[in-house]
Chains A and B, each alone.
Chain A
Amino acid sequence: MFQYIVRRIVAALPTLVLITMLAFSMLHLVPGDPAEIFLGENKSSPELLAQVRSDMGLDRPLHVQYLGFLGDMLRGDLGTSLNNGRSVVREIATRLPSTVELTLAALGISIVLGVGLGVLSAVRHNTWVDSAAMFVALLGVSMPVFWSSLLLIFFFSVKLQWFPAIGQGGIERLVLPAVALGLLSSATLARLVRSSMLDVLSQDYVRTAVAKGVRPRAVTFRHALKNALVPAITVIGIQFGQLLSGTVITETIFARLGIGRYYVDSLLNKDFPVVQALTLLIATAYVVINLLVDLSYSLLDPRIRYD
């Protein structure tokens, strides 16, 4: 088991190294000279430009620049924003909690709704309840986040005035963006939980439980759901990526200062150090979470062998 974990981590390393290369090369792939962008409006003399370029290390050979970038990164130094000269790490740190809060809330909503709808559908297989639940899920998959967000704002903020439309801080400002974000992935999850429950419900051990007179509720939850959730867990890693993508949109619409919105703003402003740092952060987080999901999957399902 320990060996298996180590091997999985080692297998993820080349991906992580390639991610650092990609993040580094973004600086050179994007059109425009970073030094000129740094100088901004101050129309610069060639000397000043050369000075800035050498300060930023842009006059060194590429591999030296890359090693320098790696070294700085390992020391936790991701440079300063071209926009305001502040430390990128600190800028990200102020925005990260807002995104984590939103993502976790959305994930919670997605799990509750998705598992609920999926189980209901499977237990009432081939009835109108099943059809209705699956139609709702299909509707959810087909509804882009930017459209569901606007609908939620229209109904719950403009019409009913239950929640504020924009801003952050406090539960009341978290509800609408979290629901908008959670709805989409709950629909995906509901479809998966349903088919996984249907698989499990046709297993011999479930039939045995029914035959020996276990109450239906206990069969559903204790015997079936527990086993049906194992494959669903692998999807949570993918869901997490979907949610991160979604934060770009929800943070824009609900005016939340998070890293999703920060990523788009930095791309638009060509603030390369920030883009590099966020690329690194998001990709690494995604790889690590999927690794953890994989490991937990093998822990939860004893049939998976580690050799």
Chain B
Amino acid sequence: MTEAASRSRSTRGRSLWRLSAQRLMRNPGAVTGMVVLGVLVAASVLAPWLTSFDPIALAPRDRLQPPGGAHWFGTDAFGRDIFTRVVYGGRTSLQIGFVAVTISTLIGVTLGLVAGYFGGTVDQIASRIVDVMLAFPGLLLALAIVAILGPNLLNAMIAVGISASPNYARVTRGAVLQAKELAFVEAAQQSGARTWRILVLHVLPNVLGPIVVIATLGVANAIIAGAALSFLGLGAEPPTPEWGLMLSDGRAYLRHAWWITTFPGLAIMVTVLAINLVGDGLRDALDPRMTR
């Protein structure tokens, strides 16, 4: 490849991402989502400075207080401050989201890259594995994996991550099938570059767009799935502040203490909504043909 050609490709590549970033910043939904998400991340990082209450210590004298001056979101059946637990719960949920998506991406993208690039028998085997995993509706697969690994928060993250990975594999494989026909990939093959080098330096950057989109939306799905597992008693263990667990604890008090379930429920919804707005914005920005 001549120097001029390689320079032109790199500037084009950079400006494509920059164009996408500009398009993203012009999307009011996506900007709103990013701002809300920023506030949520800041709140969970700064949790100890935002509240003077302990998220776990019991305070029986303060039990079931409605929202008010001292306790903005009220207290639960053990007298714990709900605002404090919602803020600390954000740490747990965001952690679930990012750990699970990292696992999905590592497994799914590797599988998809290898299947799409090598084709043949490797593709056949990888695609079969993906088919079988896709034969289990998302949450049910995660449930089965948790059952095998044992129910706790870390295993819930792993289970959610593994159960979502076939989607990443499928999307990556499709994108790789297109990318490997590109002229510069063939050029790299002809010039004798090592396979892993071609995969990582030439193919991967060109399939990153769709992966970024599903990974972003995947964080939202992982947060919901993680909370669902905790809700069912197969994720975070009490007294961990976790939104799904808080909703499950509050069920018994729905009639008399609506605030126990309302605030963690709103927290999940706002977080997921913000991530979905960013994800939708990213999809539109990275693929202008999809914009309507």
Question: Which residues from chain A sit less than 8 Å from chain B, CB to CB?
Answer: 14-15, 18-19, 22, 26, 29-31, 125, 138-139, 141-147, 150-151, 153-154, 158, 195, 198, 240-242, 244-246, 248-249, 252-253, 263-264, 267-268, 270, 275, 279, 282-283, 286-287
Contacts and interface: CB of A to CB of B under 8 A. Distances in A.
Interface of B: 128, 131-132, 135-140, 143-144, 146-148, 150-151, 220, 224, 227-228, 231-234, 244, 247-248, 250-251, 254-255, 258, 261, 265, 268-269, 272-273, 276-277, 280, 292
A154 B254 contact: yes
Nearest to A243: B137
Given A138-B276, A146-B227, A286 B135 contact: yes
Given A15-B131, A198-B292, A248 B227 contact: no
16 contacts: A15-B131, A15-B135, A138-B280, A141-B276, A142-B273, A144-B268, A144-B272, A146-B248, A153-B254, A158-B255, A248-B139, A248-B140, A249-B139, A253-B251, A263-B143, A282-B140
Given A146-B244, A241-B137, 18 more contacts: A15-B135, A18-B131, A138-B276, A139-B269, A142-B272, A144-B269, A147-B268, A150-B250, A150-B251, A154-B261, A158-B255, A240-B137, A252-B232, A264-B234, A267-B143, A268-B234, A282-B140, A283-B135
A198 B150 CA distance: 47
Given A153-B254, A283-B135, A147 B150 contact: no
Given A248-B139, A249-B231, A286-B135, A139 B273 contact: yes
A145 B146 CA distance: 20
B265 A142 contact: no
Top 9 nearest A-B pairs by Cβ distance?
A241-B137, A245-B139, A142-B273, A147-B265, A142-B272, A267-B147, A283-B135, A245-B137, A18-B132
Contacts of A31: 148, 150
A22 B144 CA distance: 11
Given A195-B292, A282-B140, A150 B128 contact: no
B128 A242 contact: no
Contacts of A198: 292
Residue of B135, B231, B254, B273 contacting most chain A CB atoms (<10 Å): B135
A147 B271 CA distance: 13
Contact of A286 (B128, B136, B254): B136
Contacts of B265: 147, 150-151
B154 to A, nearest CB: 16
B277 A138 contact: yes
A144 B273 CA distance: 11
Contacts of A143: 269, 272
Contacts of B248: 146
Contacts of B150: 31
Given A31-B150, A282-B140, A146 B277 contact: no
Given A144-B272, A153-B254, A287-B135, A29 B148 contact: yes
Contacts of A270: 147
Contacts of A145: 228
B228 A249 contact: yes
Contacts of B139: 245-246, 248-249
